[in-house]
Amino acid sequence: MKKTIFSIILITCILILFPQNGYAQPAFPSKSFVSDSTTNIAKISLHKTLFSGLKFSTQNNEPKNVFGFTGLSFTPEFSNIISTNPTALKEAEKSIPYNAIGLGGSIALVIFAMNDLLNTLNEADQVSSGNLPEGSSGSSLVPILISGGVMVVSSILANSHISKAVKIFNSTDKNTLPVEPAETEPFPVEKGQTYSGFKISLFGGVVFPQGDFGSTSGEEAGFANTGFCIATEAQQTLSSNLIWPSTLLVAFNSFDESSLQKQIEDYGGSISTGNYYTTWIMTGIGYETSINPATKIYFEGQIGLLLSSFPDITFSYETISITQTTKMATAFAYGFGGGIAFNKFNIGMRYYTAKPEYEQSASYGGDVYKAKVSLPASILQLMVGIYL
């Protein structure tokens, strides 16, 4: 428990000192700017603070962000100015890969922290029930420290390239402030398109259990029926074709009671069950290409974390009733998918798979029986979504 609390404090400190929007470093005094109204020479000043991302300003303007929301692109304001100096722009672009590495570190940080918290909650639940855990699942402190270190180092390296780019820009006497453009999307779009650099989709769809998850025979049979899902997906455009999708999906599958009932007919009695609830937290990389100005097709691969709730199963025979309960399990997950996006609509397919280890228990005659079992969870989703 103490390790988990320390992990949460550590994560909070890292996220405050190195926020996603610009990956800010601890503050240091920024250079004051003196403008020359006769020549309109452009000079850039950087501002780094504890609680916000890396910012810049020109003349007496208010500081604005250097990076976009994810740190994988520049804001239109910064890009509009730095691009007037090709050498400075080339140096600034070197920061993007480091921000991408840092973003991966922050995602890993959250996944390890969630896994650590869930394990701690499970152990606390066992203790409150009077059952001592058979063995500690271990703390994710070391992976959290590594992920945090990757995030911090990549932030410093990314900011160093921006600093160098600003020095190059300011050392040139021929830089002039560009005309303030009309508000535009971070990435150009063709007429009829609704795409931008960052977008969010809401999905709903049908979930088909795959492999053993939907099987009714074998040691790893899951007895899952076809169900439904809801999801939200955030997508950041990295380049003209590369995308970075992050998905939160919750799937609901009922348990095939009738098939299990048939298998115990010789013993008599009846079976009643709950439902499967699986939550998939996924992120990855994708590729998209245009068919026409308003339509794109895309493909993506993702990794992440599965939180799986296995249904309780109750066996009843005359006056006897035995219930098997199962604790929520977590597991590493991966998957792939694709789809077609047109105007504000997104039709897609996703395949996710993982193999969580469940802790199951049942009581009979005053005795408690426990077992750990690993069962696959694989689903194919057909979804229809809309861009917000």
Q: Where are the domains of the chain?
A: 2-105+143-170, 185-387
Helices (H), 129-235: 141-170
Look over the chain and give the mean of its residue pLDDT values, rounded to a whole number.
78
Residue closest to 336 by CA, chosen among 262, 267, 285: 285
More confident residue, 260 or 143: 260
Distance CA 253, CA 308 (A): 11
CA-closest candidate to residue 363, choices 318, 311, 315, 329: 315
145 or 14, greater pLDDT? 145
Q: Which of 37-46, 100-109, 335-344, 363-372 has the lowest mean pLDDT?
A: 37-46
136 CA to centre of own chain = 27
Residue 26, pLDDT score? 34
Q: Which residues contact 288 (CB under 8 A, 6 or more apart)?
A: 241, 243, 296, 297, 298, 299, 341
User: Domain 185-387 has what CATH class?
Assistant: mainly beta
Neighbours of 258 (CB within 10 A): 11
pLDDT at 37 over 50: no
Asked if 59 and 17 count as a contact pair (C-beta separation under 8 A), the reply is no
Q: Is residue 337's pLDDT more than 80?
A: yes
Average confidence (pLDDT) over 340-351: 91
Return the residue matching tokens 């219930």: 323
Phi, psi values for residue 203, rounded to 5°: -125, 155
Q: What local confidence, expressed as pLDDT, does residue 334 receive? A: 95
Structure tokens at 62: 């208010």
Looking at the predicted structure, is the pLDDT value of residue 186 above 70? no
Q: Picking from 101-105, 305-309, 311-315, which range would have the lowest pLDDT averaged per residue?
A: 101-105
Kindly give, in sequence order, each residue whose CB lies less than 8 Å from that of residue 228, ignoring residues fewer than 6 positions away.
204, 205, 206, 207, 251, 252
Of the listed ranges 101-110, 181-190, 282-291, the least confidently predicted one is 181-190
312-322 tens-digit pLDDT: 998 888 778 88
pLDDT tens-digit profile of 215-252?
998 889 999 999 999 999 998 888 878 899 999 999 99
Where are the strands (E) in the chain, listed by range? 44-47, 55-58, 64-65, 198-209, 227-237, 242-254, 270-273, 275-292, 295-309, 313-317, 320-326, 329-342, 345-354, 357-364, 367-374, 377-387
What is the chain's percent helix, strand, coil content, to nearest 5?
30, 40, 30
**pLDDT at 197 (0 to 100):** 72
Q: Work out the number of other CB atoms within 10 angstroms of the CB of residue 294.
A: 16
CA 230, CA 241: separation in Å to the nearest integer?
27
Lowest-pLDDT range, 70-79, 202-211, 237-246, 310-319? 70-79
SS3 of residue 91 by DSSP: helix
Q: Is the pLDDT higher at 51 or at 374? A: 374
The pair phi, psi for residue 258, each rounded to 5°, is -60, -40
> Does 191 have pLDDT greater than 80?
no
C-alpha to C-alpha distance for 297 and 291, rounded to whole angstroms: 7
What is the pLDDT, as a whole number, of residue 130?
60
Side chain identity, residue 365: G
Rounded mean pLDDT, 326-350: 92
Share of the chain above pLDDT 90, in %: 31
pLDDT band at 107 (very low <50, low <70, confident <90, very high): confident
Name the pTM for this structure.
Answer: 0.58
Q: If DSSP codes are grouped into helix, strand and coil, which group holds residue 130?
A: coil
Q: Copy the structure tokens of residue 162.
A: 């921006």
Which of 4-13, 182-191, 221-230 has the least mean pLDDT?
Answer: 182-191
Q: What is the DSSP letter of 150?
A: H
Residue 329 is predicted with a pLDDT of 93
What pLDDT does 34 receive?
Answer: 36
Comparing 32-36, 46-50, 64-68, 228-232, the range with the smallest average pLDDT is 32-36
Out of 43-57, 185-199, 283-297, the most confident range is 283-297
pLDDT of residue 241: 86
Which of 315, 207, 204, 311 shows the shortest CA–CA distance to 256?
311
Contacts of 335 (CB under 8 A, 6+ apart): 280, 282, 301, 302, 350, 351, 352, 353
State how far the Cα of 15 lies from the Cα of 34, in Å rounded to an integer: 33
Region at 189 (left for phi over 0; alpha for psi -120 to 50; beta for the rest): beta
Rounded CA separation 243/237 (Å)? 5
